Amino acid sequence: MAKSPYPKPLELSGALDQFIHEETTPEIGREYPDVNIVDDLLNAENSDAVLRDLAITISRRGVVFFRKQTNLTNDLQKEFVNRLGQLAGKPSESSVHIFPLAPAHVPEGGTPDRQISYVNSVGFKYMFEKMPNMDKRRFDAAEWHTDIQFEPVPADYTSLRVIKLPETGGDTLWASGYELYNRLSQPYRNFVDNLTVTCRADCVLMAIRNRGEKIEEGERGNPLNTGQALTAVHPVVRTNPVTGWKSIFAVGQFSKRINEVNAYESEELLKKFYSMIQDNHDLQCRFRWRNPHDIAIWDNRSVFHRATFDYMDLGERSGNRAVGIGEVPYFDPESTSKAAALGKEKHVKKNSAGNGVHNGAAHGGHGMAMGGCPASNGMAMQAHGHMMTG
């Protein structure tokens, strides 16, 4: 039997078992309420072991939360997210991403560090206020997405540390791509397993044109991430190398076209995936940023996230984001669903019309807007996470 070209899933060592945790929901999310990232993880005697187990945990649970990380500097945040990827086996040439939008204007409180994206409502307004129809729909900016999907080598782990909070609001939500895949019937899985999606950062390019800003053309965390195209082709179903589980990957404003079908079918598929998130809140979790320096770390290979823009008149929200670069996305035909791996695969039942229904779970309708950056709805407001999402 030929050896698989793909990595084997990683197993936990138990190094994290000493720390108390709470699962946010059954499907996604975990919080470590008492852990200090610097003291208990980065500077631990068994630092590599606990960070490796944390990376595996993030990949399995989707997103992990820590509170009040007041001693985590920007440099330590970059080290943290990069070491997670390294210890989980990412390629040696991958490091920390540099966002392609290179604004000359750094908002007050921001940083010129190109590997740290300053998530700031004031900076967002500066960069995108000239976009067409920006105020048409407040929630355009809150599209579900995965970070930097438009790069040939996109993100593995993202860390977002919120420093300044509004009076209330500004929560972030995450949704499980594993669970999206779980809720498809087997014939549907067989179909989407073989598809690819073209991803492109139209909204970022439009912001650059309208503001006259420059694009970062050099290496953005990997030698393959260069140039001005901001376009890549990825599998619709992506295998997470850490878990070996399949996840839907073609969701959000960067996913533009499923390549093996016609334009109408592509639009319908993208709508379906997006609607499945919208219509199934039990595959989501929601995090309230309670304290300065609360931090979330998530695995972009299998998780989507969105911001909540309900705080614009309630004070500034700002924070620092560091994004690790992983591997070129791939689909391993020998990989499995999360449900199958955990022995929780649901059976497909037949309804009265003879259609396959996945154990009563809603697949979502097709009435939602496609997860893209429609020009008529203010493309830039659905842009990347570097200035406003998360």
Q: Which candidate, 77, 147, 110, places its Cα nearest to that of 307?
A: 147
Count each helix (H run) and each strand (E run) in the chain, helices first: 8, 19
Model confidence pTM above 0.95 = no
Question: Which amino acid would we find at residue 362?
Answer: A
93-382 folds as Double-stranded beta-helix (3.60.130)
Alpha helices in the chain (DSSP H): 47-61, 74-87, 121-128, 177-182, 186-192, 202-211, 263-279, 338-341
Predicted confidence (pLDDT) per residue in 248-306, tens digit: 999 998 999 999 999 999 999 999 999 999 999 999 999 999 999 999 999 999 999 99
Helix (H) or strand (E) holding 22: strand 22-23
Q: Which candidate, 162, 141, 161, 210, places its Cα nearest to that of 315?
A: 162
Helix (H) or strand (E) holding 304: strand 303-307
Neighbours of 352 (CB within 10 A): 5
Q: Which candidate, 82, 104, 222, 204, places its Cα nearest to that of 153?
A: 222
Predicted confidence (pLDDT) per residue in 152-207, tens digit: 999 999 999 999 887 777 799 999 999 999 999 999 999 999 999 999 998 788 87
Q: Give the N- to C-terminal CA distance of the chain in Å, as an integer.
A: 44
> 248 - beta bridge partners?
237
Predicted confidence (pLDDT) per residue in 109-162, tens digit: 566 788 998 887 665 555 555 555 455 444 444 689 999 999 999 999 999 999
CA atoms within 13 A on the CB side of 380: 22
**pLDDT value at position 103?**
58
Cα gap 177→277, rounded to integer Å: 9
